[in-house]
Amino acid sequence: MTQSTTTRWTAQDIPDQQGRTALVTGANTGIGFETAKALASRGATVVLAVRDADRGKRAAEEIGAAVPGADLHVQRLDLSSLASVRSAAEDVRNTWSRLDLLINNAGVMYTPYSRTPDGFELQFATNHLGHFALTGLLLDLVPATADSRIVTVSSAGHRMGGPMDLDDLDWSRRPYNRTAAYGHSKLANLMFTYELQRRLPAAGPLALAAHPGGADTGGSKSAMAHSSALTRAAFAMIRPLLLQSPAMGALPVLRAATDPAAQGGQYYGPRGFQQSKGHPTVVRSSAASYDLATQRRLWALSEELTGVTFPGN
C-alpha cells in the first residue's frame, strides 16, 4: 500500500462511507464535530460519544440540518470515569455489531490540577486512560480489514513538558505543571497508537494518530481562559496567523481514518510551517514517542490502572 501523493487532500477526498459505522468521541464540538459531520456527509452512520448528552443531541441536530438524512446517534461517555467508559462500551456493544471507525478525539487541555473519581490526574485520565480503556473494550467490534481504523488524536503539544515520568503519573511527587501534564497525555496518545499497531493482526484494523495543528476550537479558547489578561490579549492578536478552522483541523483525522493509502502507525498533521496550518500529510512525532521500552511500559501501566486488557494480549 503506497502513500497517496495528494497534496491538497480535503473532505471531498473521503471515500464513500455508506454501510459503515463510526464512533467519534467528543463529537459535539470542534474537531470531533467536524469529523462526525464529514463522515455523515459521506454516508457513514455516526455515533456521537459525548460527556453531555443534551449538547450531543444539539450537535446531532445541527449536523442533521446540514446533512439531510444523516444517520446519527448520541452516546453518553465521560472519559474521565472508568465506570462511564465501561457503561458506554456496554451500550455500544448492545447496539452495534461492528465499528468500522473508532475516532478517539475527545480531550481536556491545560486544566488546573484535579483528580478523577478513579484517583487519576484529570488530563492523563481523560486524554489517554479513558481512550485506552474504550479501545480495549470495543476492539473486537472493529473488523480485521485495512479500511477499519482506530485513530487517536494527539497534538503538536506532545513535545512539551520533557520526559514523561511513568513513576509519577498523578503528579504527587512534584509540583503540578498543567502544560507538561497535557503534553504527557498527548505523548501517551502517540505511544499507545504505535504499540497498538504492533499488536494488531497483519490483516488489520489499522491504528493511526493525527493532530489538528493550531485549530481554533473550544479547547484552545478554554486553555487561554487560564492565562493572564496580557497573554490572552497578545494571543487574540496573533490567533489568525497561527490557527485554522476546526474544519481544516479535522482533515488530518479524516485522512488517517479514510485514505485508502494510509498505513498503520502513521501520524497525520498539517503540512504547513511547524505543522500549524494546511492540508493533511504524514508527519513525524518526537523522538521520545518512538521509544519502544517506554511504549511497552506505558501499555502495561495502562492495563493495570484501567483493568482493561486487549483481546489477544
Instruction: Tell me if residue 182 is catalytic.
Output: yes
Give the CA radius of gyration of the chain. 18
d(CA 48, CA 32): 9
- Cell readout for 294 is 517506554
Are 220 and 197 spatial neighbours (Cβ–Cβ below 8 Å)? no
DSSP structure class, residue 119: S
Report residue 54: phi and psi, to 5°: -65, -45
- Ramachandran category for residue 177: left, alpha or beta (phi over 0 → left; psi -120 to 50 → alpha): beta
CA 174 to chain centre: 28
And the C-alpha cell for 23? 464512533
- Of 110, 176, 182, 290, the active-site residue reads 182
Helices (H), the chain: 30-41, 53-66, 82-95, 122-124, 130-138, 178-199, 218-225, 229-242, 246-249, 251-258, 292-306
Measured CA to CA, the distance from residue 36 to residue 311 in angstroms comes to 27
Best CA proximity match to 42, nearest among 17, 62, 8, 22: 17
Cell of 82: 472508568
DSSP string for residues in 129-146: IHHHHHHHHHGGGS-SST
State the sign of the Cα–Cα–Cα–Cα dihedral 301, 304, 306, 312.
positive
Residues for the chain: how many in total? 313
Residues belonging to the active site: 182
